[in-house]
Amino acid sequence: MESVVLVLTALEDVTADRVIEALHERGATVVRVDPGDAGPTLGFEFRLGCGESAWHGQLSTASRRVDVEAVTAVYYRRPTPYTARFAHLPGQVREFAAAEARHGLGGVLHSLCRALYVNHPVAVARADFKPAQLQRFAALGLRVPATLITNDAEQARRFAVEHGRVIYKSFRGLPEGPGGCAGAIWAQRIEADALDDSVSVTAHLFQAEIPKTGDVRVTVVGRRVFAQRITTPDGALDWRRGDWDRLAHTPVVVPEPVRTALYGYLASFGLVFGCFDFALTGQGTAPEDWWAIECNPNGQWGWLPDAPAIAAAFVDILSSGGSRRP
């Protein structure tokens, strides 16, 4: 049976497009599926028992049919939430249908015994919490900024006074508003006297500002490490808030102790790949110049100058499938 790489993502996904194109160039058999399409345009039947110890059966799209037992690698990117497929249904019915699809179809797609997942959605979910990320960074010997997570305004004010220059960051992006548009809250400096009782409404993340000389995005795929120093034209505190086409990128060498820590980080969460953000101090050449900020376990990298090399690293892993674990 021919080996298949299954790509689980939404229709519009430029990052996944790069990997799929590279897989085709390598001669791999690729099937792209959005589990959120469950319904008339995406059918499935899976069986277990009668001497079978693993799920077998088929996924059927409008143009393709794939035997799930032939899947040796799964590239899990950003599939559409199941709730979107059933948005037209009444509330209770909608929630029930979405949960059934997630636990039924999703349950099988998360349990393919022969497949190597990049990354497994359970591992992504486990590694998606910033408190866990920061704690793991520190445990692995990486430097992290002094951090406070609180809903206590007085504690927040004391932290700001203690550290002088303090940054507020949100844990997540803004959800969709009434017009269907999502948003973001960029990292921003906070003064102690600006913190009032509204802090008590929910959790807030405050960090001591690092006197950084630059930012670095490190993309790790298996044992391959790609690092780009990012500079904004106006020296912005958060490089993500401006025009990405105006960002300057410079390849940078990751010190060996930091590289080793990143391998350990991915292994500890059961990840194959991750996008790490660092703040640099000094010249950025010594390990102590590197301050770990966060890791996106399902991050974007298609906009980086070394995206073709990153895509090739994905293909090396996905095309080897279950025969080799990075």
Total count of domains within the chain: 3
Structure pTM?
0.91
Residue 180: the pLDDT is 65
177 lies in the same domain as 112: no
- Read off the CATH number of the domain in which 82 is found: 3.40.50
Residue span of the structural domain in which 263 resides: 212-314
The answer as to whether 74 is a domain residue is yes
Q: For residues 68 and 138, what is the distance between their CA atoms, to the nearest angstrom?
A: 40
109 lies in the same domain as 12: yes
The answer as to whether 84 is a domain residue is yes
Bridge partners for 5 per DSSP: 30, 73
* Number of C-beta neighbours around residue 274 at 10 A: 23
Residue 169 backbone phi and psi in degrees, to 5: -135, 145
The answer as to whether 226 is a domain residue is yes
Residue 322: the pLDDT is 52
99 lies in the same domain as 170: no
Residue 245: the pLDDT is 77
- At 320, which helix (H) or strand (E)? helix 307-320
Taking phi over 0 as left and psi of -120 to 50 as alpha, with beta for the rest, 51 belongs to left
- Read off the CATH number of the domain in which 267 is found: 3.30.470.20
Residue 176: the pLDDT is 72
The answer as to whether 263 is a domain residue is yes
* Strand ranges (E), 9-106: 30-33, 43-49, 52-60, 65-67, 71-76
228 lies in the same domain as 298: yes
- Residue 170, helix vs strand vs coil: coil
Q: For residues 226 and 250, what is the distance between their CA atoms, to the nearest angstrom?
A: 11
Residue 154: the pLDDT is 95
Residue 39: the pLDDT is 85
Full pLDDT tens readout for the chain, 326 residues: 689 999 999 988 999 999 999 999 999 999 999 999 988 889 999 999 877 788 999 999 888 899 999 999 999 999 999 988 898 999 999 999 999 999 999 999 999 988 999 999 999 999 999 999 999 999 999 999 999 999 999 999 999 999 999 999 999 877 777 766 667 788 889 999 999 999 999 999 999 999 998 999 999 999 999 999 998 887 778 888 877 778 889 999 999 999 999 999 999 999 999 999 999 999 889 999 999 999 999 999 998 999 999 999 999 999 986 544 44
Residue 323: the pLDDT is 47
